[in-house]
Amino acid sequence: MLVPDGRVIMISGASRGIGQSIGKLLAERGYKLSLGVRDPKAINAADYSDDTLVARWDATDAKTSDDWVARTNEHFGRIDGIVMNAGIDIVTNLAEAADEDYEALWQVNFMGPLRLMRAVMPSLRASGHGRAINIVSMAGKRLMDGSMLGYSASKFAALSLTHATRHEGWSDGVRATAICPGLVDTQMIAGLDAPPNQFKIDPEVIAQTVDYALSLPENAAVAEILVNSRLESIF
Ligand SMILES: NC(=O)c1ccc[n+]([C@@H]2O[C@H](COP(=O)([O-])OP(=O)(O)OC[C@H]3O[C@@H](n4cnc5c(N)ncnc54)[C@H](OP(=O)(O)O)[C@@H]3O)[C@@H](O)[C@H]2O)c1
């Protein structure tokens, strides 16, 4: 798992939950970090080295994607990878959910990562070993119940973004990986007890998975990593 060599990684949604765990672990591993968050005050500076960049990034504010990438390039002079982690979940039943709920899920879970990938791709190509990690979900692989219609739709789209990135960046050494967890023990599902046949995965485990994906060489390209929280007879 040797790698840092001055590598610069951007992480969206590092304020809490999975993104916070990813930030802490990658900082310990020696990566140089650029953290994109809605509220920079949410970052605990003590967790990071002095040259960590904290930038305002809001998935629903298109301009902030270009700004965050530009600031990262100005600060570090290079970008070697991005972890697109920020996301939201809204219960969306076919019969009841409002159009605004679907729109919000689409903006945060798909348009935000899409704009970031567009903005950062030239830098990843230039690095010669760019890495794009997308925290998708098992809900981006299959739909477990009707209340997840909008969330799953946005995550299926996020999975397709990962695969498009693989195709677009392949010849320049860019490798993209979708990490697809089941239930993870964060605020997002705080009100949900794990059903008897399931457990909640520690966010630190997803951080370890990101670290692993970032460490793989170009000739060991892993497109998807499924992290199940229940036994499933798929894939
Ligand atoms: N928890 C699970 O069971 C689970 C399972 C599979 C996949 N995932 C995925 O894992 C990722 C992280 O989720 P989590 O469990 O860590 O959830 P979380 O604790 O609710 O954290 C969500 C993160 O996304 C950020 N965010 C929300 N809306 C944003 C916006 N408009 N612009 C920028 N950032 C925004 C939040 O920032 P603020 O602090 O500013 O709100 C926060 O940092 C998400 O993509 C989620 O879909 C989660």
20-24 average pLDDT score: 98
Residue with the smallest CA separation from ligand 1 atom 45 is 87
Residue 235 clears pLDDT 60, i.e. is over it: no
Give the pLDDT band of residue 4 (cuts 50, 70, 90).
Answer: confident
Pocket of ligand 1 (CB under 6 A): 13, 15-19, 37-39, 42, 57-60, 85-88, 108, 135, 137, 181, 183-184, 186-189
CA distance 94 to 113: 25
Give the pLDDT confidence of 66-91 residue by residue, as tens digits. Answer: 999 999 999 999 999 999 999 999 99
Predicted model pTM: 0.97
Predicted confidence at residue 218, as pLDDT, reads 94
- Is 212 marked active-site? no
Interval between CA 118 and ligand 1 midpoint (Å): 21
For the chain, the structural domain boundaries read: 8-227
Residue pointed to by tokens 């036994």: 231
Instruction: Classify 128 in phi/psi space as left (phi over 0), alpha (psi -120 to 50) or beta.
Output: left
CA distance 78 to 61: 24
What distance lies between CA 42 and its chain's CA centroid? 18
Q: How would you class 230 by CB atoms within 10 Å of its CB: exposed for 0-12, middle for 13-18, buried for 19 or more?
A: middle
Give the pLDDT confidence of 172-192 residue by residue, as tens digits. Answer: 999 999 999 999 999 999 999
Residue with the smallest CA separation from ligand 1 atom 24 is 86
Residues 82/31, Cβ–Cβ less than 8 Å: no
Ligand 1, residue 58: give the atom nearest the CA: 32
Which of 31, 48, 102, 151 is the catalytic position? 151
Work out the angle at residue 176's Cα, subtended by the Cα atoms of residues 188 and 53, and round it to the nearest 5 degrees. Answer: 65
Predicted confidence at residue 144, as pLDDT, reads 86
Higher per-residue confidence, 198 vs 144: 198
The least confident of 55-64, 88-97, 201-210 is 88-97
Residue with the smallest CA separation from ligand 1 atom 36 is 13
Domain 8-227 of CATH type 3.20.20.100: no
